[in-house]
Amino acid sequence: MLSDISELLRCKKIIEQKLDWGDSENWQSSDFENLNQLILDKTGVSLSVSTLRRIWGRVEYNHLPSVTTLNTLAKFAGFEDWRNFMKKNASEPDLNRNPSTEKKTRIHSGSLVKFAWIFGLAVFTGLITILAFDKGQPQLKSEEYAFSSQPITKGIPNSVIFTYDASKAPGDSIFIQQSWDKRRRTVVEKNLHKHTSIYYEPGFYIAKLIVGEQIVKEHKLLVPTTGWLGTIDGPTIPVYLKNREFMADSILQLPVSVIATKNIPMQPQTPNIHYYNVGNFEPVSIKNFNFSSEIKNEFRDGAGACQLSAITLITDDIPIVIPFSAKGCVSELNFLSIDNFISGKKEDLSAFGADFSDWVKVSCKSSGTKIQYSVNNKQVLELPLPARDIHVVGLAYTFQGTGAVKKVSLSSQNKIIFQAF
């Protein structure tokens, strides 16, 4: 058993270094939810959040994990199964390698559209203290459950009707979750079949039917806009803008004077504004795409001195989020290129520090097995292109304070799919 425990600790260490989320003792509940989604995406198996918390020592449970759990962890760590992981123990990878060279991953959400920089991203203290392992809790059968959804309209806000069947659930802890965000989880009744939720922001979501802590069903859900949508963050729901307030013939632009008419102060906390266009063009495969645009952040007073800005390519998977700031604030940036997450606190993102006194030209495109990112016509970053089939389904721009957008272009195989301003 000591050998098994030692191997499990080693497997966990490999996973922690692949994730590069810092000391696992400091992981929060949201990190275990993110890990649950990443494992499901890669292996097709859902290890419940409670199981992961046990494995990482958050809950006292003195048992080894089940074979299914061990196989899933090994597969996520990069091996065929647990037996293959054990066989390769003699030629184990160097666990002391620099984690910054490892692939950096993070899950999607509709909330990622807001800002890259707001992403909030253990080794056990002894070989055996109190181990937190899965007793072999049986996995619920997904085929015994049903789950689907239908938006009421096209536009925002938008109510969605969920239809579900959880009559075979072993208990009454049944939830529908709008997205990855656990705060969007609602208890539903076991013997009913309808539930409605309202989405205040557009985007691409993964809706989930959860029994206990296990995701038994999930599906993709696109919440579109009707053309361009402008919003200002509010304390509970966004403030929606009329088209004439932020759209002109050749530019997207929201004057500070318009924000003032909404009784939203610019200080002491500078609000975030957003421009969205989701579900209004043919989905574009990332295997052959080219995106370009120009942006300008037009506010830098007080708390808005960093001029934080972001362009998001919303996909039917994990999004692409290209962050910008004033040059002195690049430490606050976080870059997301689908499976690759780069923290400005750990790596050099100075290429995304901008002089917003003039327009900043931004582009990205697929090239072979890479996605190339350019700023002001100079390539500044190149990251792996995922092999799986992923499509761009929407665009979003975010500015701390206010900002402007022009010359938006999205093409596929040299054919323009979407163009604006």
At 331, which CATH number? 2.60.120.200
Residue 134, in any domain of the structure: no
98 has a pLDDT exceeding 60: no
- pLDDT recorded at residue 27: 87
242 has a pLDDT exceeding 90: yes
Cβ–Cβ < 8 Å for 32, 56: yes
307 has a pLDDT exceeding 90: yes
Question: What is the tally of structural domains in the chain?
Answer: 3
Question: Which DSSP state fits 191?
Answer: T
Of residues 62 and 280, more confidently modeled: 280
Count of residues in the chain? 421
Residue 242, in any domain of the structure: yes
pTM here?
Answer: 0.70
Q: In this structure, are 270 and 361 located in the same domain?
A: yes
What percent helix, strand, coil does the chain show, rounded to 5? 25, 35, 40
- pLDDT recorded at residue 59: 65
Q: Which helix (H) or strand (E) holds 398?
A: strand 391-400
- pLDDT recorded at residue 132: 37
Q: In this structure, are 241 and 388 located in the same domain?
A: yes
Query: 328 — phi, psi (to 5°)?
Result: -80, -5
349 has a pLDDT exceeding 50: yes
When pLDDT is averaged across residues 16-23 and rounded to a whole number, the result is 87
Quick one: CA torsion of 13, 14, 20, 26, rounded to 10 degrees?
A: -20
- Picking from 223, 250, 278, the residue at the C-terminal end of a domain is 223
Q: In this structure, are 150 and 72 located in the same domain?
A: no
Residue 383 CA to chain centroid, in angstroms?
A: 17
Host domain of residue 347: 229-413
Residue 63, in any domain of the structure: yes
At 154, which CATH number? 2.60.40
Q: Give the C-alpha distances (Å, rounded to integers) separating 248 from 244, 255, 273.
A: 7, 12, 17
Of residues 59 and 308, more confidently modeled: 308
- pLDDT recorded at residue 41: 84
Q: In this structure, are 148 and 99 located in the same domain?
A: no
Lowest mean pLDDT across 53-57, 107-111, 173-177, 379-383 = 107-111
